[in-house]
Structure 1
């Protein structure tokens, strides 16, 4: 569940935000969702979800298709997504770079963006011919206890960091002190070696090892994160430090050069 931002700004449209929560509840592997499932994923009352799904279906953002008890993303949402992807130039440019890195390292490559109090997987690249982690676009990760989350915290502006942590407090035991420590540790790693690895004893899930690096796209006002991950037996800390981390760093630097952008992490004043 992704909670609404804690905002008292009168300009904030709560009904619109709840409608978008419904759309974000869908994952690529879903065979449709009923109102009860959407309610469970969003934390919204079922009566509220029922009104929102009816409205979104009327506007074409959801469809019933041939099964009238389960909703799926509709044509209007597909069109909106295609427009968004076409307007964000780095996504297509990074695809062959990340696929090549995934194939060379045998790791699952991920592109993640901030989604309020969580990280949202936007794209994945699976290594060809290698069994890899089962994570998909639409899956959400916590900020606490992930290399992706700690890297994102390190790359944020101070203002965005404070807002994000305020919304994510309590998720996976996140406190302000833990967020500050994770931000400092990841930032120091990014400055000294170009990638960040959260110590495995801090991971929220013991079956995933991962290394991450941020990217500041001109299309976005905030950073995104690229991550390479695998099962611990296939991706030891030593291998992350000596092989996969440097390879991920090279991949993101190649993307920066192709996009004509400066390094994503620099020394703070």
Structure 2
């Protein structure tokens, strides 16, 4: 289906490539050159150079000329802040998630889908307690993360199929594996209201996490609220008995504050 979209006459390939350039940047990067962007995106370097020049001219990228490297620019920051402000649940969720982080001593996260990955868009760190080091802009795979499994489990059938197609086998997410993930995750959502991936399936063994999907009326697909921590802080039993139920309670409180029905009613259809 992705190929069908890209061959549709309405599809703007140049725009899509420009957005791919912006997606190439990671929080840990100290700038990127055209060659690195080309390697990450698969776009020819000659095309990348035109795209980065245009994005820099419009303020979406900064260019440190003496090093010939690009960094996200002020226009991109403004665009992100505008998007955040226009989505009502983001600000409402902040005090709830900070309270949860403080009470549980875990890193609380908000993630959205970004093509074939889950993108961290907000973090809340517990005050006075060391926590796992994940930052806004970090991307997690669908396969092998509680956030990714919760997302796939909460999608309606047609969106699920598209997400799996877009993932293109990333980290072993075959259609068969995706169906197993979805089946297990939906079972957990129906019985407990949250998803905890088996640590044996984690893509990063040193991080445990529990996740709850949230369906906002502002968006066409679910976002994911997550609590994560090191295994010695966030054991499977603690996720199941304490942190998972508290995270679910926070999401339910957010639903009440927004005056909307439970997310469960959406993904059970």
* Fold-level similarity (TM above 0.5): yes
Runs of 4+ in structure 1 over 4 Å off: 65-68
Structure 1 length-normalised TM: 0.93
The alignment's TM-score, normalised by the length of structure 2, stands at: 0.93
Note the 1:110-189 alignment, pairs <5 A.
110-189=109-188
Task: Give the Å deviation of 1:9.
Answer: 2.2
Q: Is the 8 A contact 1:28 1:136 kept in 2?
A: yes
Separation in structure 1 between the aligned mates of residue 28 and residue 176 of structure 2, nearest angstrom: 36
Q: Which residue of 2 aligns with 1:99?
A: 98
CA offsets per residue over residues 73-111 of structure 1, 9 Å max, x none?
223222222221111111111111111111111111111
Equivalent residue, structure 2, for 1:199: 198
1:162-206 CA-partner distances (Å, limit 9, x unpaired): 001011132111111110111111111111111111111111111
Do structure 1's residue 220 and structure 2's residue 224 form an aligned pair? no
Report what 2:77 is aligned to.
Answer: 78
Aligned to 1:208: 207
Q: Is the alpha carbon distance of 1:126 and 1:205 closer, same or farther for their aligned partners in structure 2, counting shifts above 3 Å? A: same
Q: CA RMSD in A?
A: 1.7
1:244 aligns with 2:239: no
Unaligned 5+ runs, structure 2: none
